[in-house]
Structure 1
Amino acid sequence: MTEQATDTRSDDSDELAATVEAGGFWRLVPGWVPRDFIEPTPALLEQVDCGLRRLVA
């Protein structure tokens, strides 16, 4: 007899949204990650672009 693990992942986007809204997402994220949303600016996008290019190089 073979035992198989049950896949408990869900493709339900409503369930995922409810988890995030309830704060369940943040227990998976390190404490240094900002919890506030800041509107992206051209300067921020340029920093991200430069950082990604350095990472790839």
Structure 2
Amino acid sequence: MTEQATGTRSDDPDELAVTVEAGGFWRLVPGWVPRNFVEPAPALLEHVESGLRRLVA
């Protein structure tokens, strides 16, 4: 990776949303990370929740 994140960090969620929607986020992510995502199904969320509960217990 040739680019690095700059030190100008913002905690403004609206600014972050604009950056992500403009594609600015992806220059910081390795090329092997998938760029297409789908909304998680309820069954997946339940599976993750039960796994986290087992981890905590």
- Provide the secondary structure at the position in 2 that maps to 1:40: coil
Equivalent residue, structure 2, for 1:39: 39
The aligned length equals: 50
TM-score of the aligned structures, taking structure 2 as reference length: 0.51
**Rg larger in 1 or in 2?**
1
Equivalent residue, structure 1, for 2:3: none
- Provide the secondary structure at the position in 2 that maps to 1:35: coil
Q: Deviations over 1:14-49 (max 9, x none)?
A: 1100100000111111134x1111232366558867
Query: Which stretches of structure 1, 4 residues or more, deviate above 4 A after TM superposition?
Result: 42-49
Equivalent residue, structure 1, for 2:9: 9
Question: Greater RCO between the two (CA within 8 Å, min separation 6)?
Answer: 2
Identify if the C-alpha distance between structure 1 residues 27 and 47 changes in structure 2 by more than 3 Å, giving closer, same or farther: farther
For structure 2, the 5+ residue unaligned runs are 1-6, 53-57
Equivalent residue, structure 2, for 1:18: 18
Residue 8 of structure 1 deviates from its aligned partner by 2.5
RMSD: 2.6
Identity of aligned pairs, percent? 77
